Amino acid sequence: MAKNKEEYQLRYIYHTNKYEDAYLIELELDQYCDLYNAWDGSALDRKALDPGLSNFLERASFELPLEEKVEICFYLPEEKKDESKEADARATIKNNFRMDIFFLNRKLDNNKRKISYYFLLGIAFILTAYLIPENQDLSLLVSLLQEGLFIGSWVFMWEASSLFFFSTKELKDKKKRYLRYLSSEIIFNYY
């Protein structure tokens, strides 16, 4: 019942394409250049999306269930209709999501390296602490060193666990949402 209620509420907020059974993320533009970051001087297919548009699409993606299909629908005035600009806009939007996925993959690889590094340091600290011989003359100093190594090992292990269970999971979830946008239809309607 709770899922049906949530789905009903989402369908109230987002229109749906009943033929494709997809949620519509609808945006109104005055002109095609509203899609792009005004500061970006790159070629059209390499331009960055407007930051407000990127934030809106990201928020909408997190509001909608991941297993549901989405379509991005832009509304423009009839006199602005230009099929070549439509094609450029579609390519730019898809390229932006590909670029986002590329950078997410780099972050995921970086996390893997950090996890391995922290885990190995944690193991090395634990082994070092256990291998320090007990010496009666320096027992306080040795004891402090051992405790410091144990604490350090748990800090490294916690950081590795935190990266593995929390940060990496969030990045993978974000990647799935961007992949969903890559396979989404981009529609232009005119009024």
> For 12-26, 90-104, 131-145, 146-160, which range has the lowest pLDDT when averaged over its residues?
131-145
Confidence at 143, pLDDT banded by 50, 70, 90: confident
- Better-predicted residue by pLDDT, 124 or 19: 124
pLDDT at 139 (0 to 100): 79
Six-digit token string for 33: 């250049």
Give me the number of domains the chain comprises.
1
E-state strands within 38-121: 69-76
Which H or E run contains 101? Answer: helix 83-131
Q: Provide the percentage of residues in the chain whose pLDDT is more than 90.
A: 69
Per the listing, tokens 């789905």 go with 7
What digits encode the pLDDT tens for the residues 30-41? 999 999 988 887
Residues of the domain holding 18: 2-190
Contact 163, 119 (CB under 8 A): no
Strand order in the sheet with 185-190: 16-17, 22-28, 69-76, 185-190
